[in-house]
Amino acid sequence: MSAFAWLLTGLVLAAVAAVFMIWFRQRPATKREPVPPASLPDADTEFATELQPPAAAQQAAPAAPAPELPRRYGEDRLVLLARDPHWLFAYWEISATKQEEFSARYGPEAWRSSRPFLRLYDVTGIEFQGNNANTYVDIAINDESDNWYLEVGQPNRTFCVDLGRVLPTGHFVTLLRSNLAHTPRASLSECCDEEWMWLEGIYRSLFGYQFGVSSPLLIKEVSARMGRGVVPVGITSPVFLPPQPVNRE
Q: Is the pTM of this model over 0.95?
A: no
169-172: long-range pairs with CB below 8 Å, 24+: 172/117, 172/119, 172/138
Domains in the chain, start-ordered, CATH in brackets?
Answer: 77-182 (2.60.40.10), 199-241 (no CATH)
- How far are the Cα atoms of 98, 103, 112, 174, 210 from residue 167, in angstroms, in the given order? 16, 12, 10, 11, 76
Please write the tens of the pLDDT for every residue from 189-244: 766 666 665 666 665 666 555 455 555 555 566 566 555 544 444 444 444 455 55
Q: Which residues make beta-bridge pairs with 189? A: none
Q: What is the separation, in whole angstroms, between the first and last Cα of the chain?
A: 182
Contact yes or no for 98/76 (Cβ under 8 A): yes
| CA–CA dist 10, 125 (Å, integer) | 144
Q: What percentage of the chain reaches a pLDDT higher than 90?
A: 43
The residues near 73 (Cβ < 8 Å, ≥ 6 apart) are 93
181 beta partners: 159
Q: Which helix (H) or strand (E) holds 160?
A: strand 158-166
State the Cα angle at 144 between 139 and 149, rounded to 5°: 40
- Tell me the HSE value of 78 on the side-chain side, using a 13 A CA sphere: 21
| Percentage of the chain exceeding pLDDT 70 | 57
Beta bridge partners, 176, equal 163
Higher pLDDT, 99 or 188: 99
Are the beta carbons of 91 and 99 closer than 8 angstroms? no
**Count of CB atoms situated within 10 Å of the CB of 131:** 7
Express each pLDDT in 20-42 by its tens digit.
Answer: 777 767 666 555 666 555 555 55
When pLDDT is averaged across residues 35-63 and rounded to a whole number, the result is 58
pLDDT tens digits along 66-91: 777 666 677 899 999 999 999 999 99
**8 Å CB contact between 165 and 115:** yes
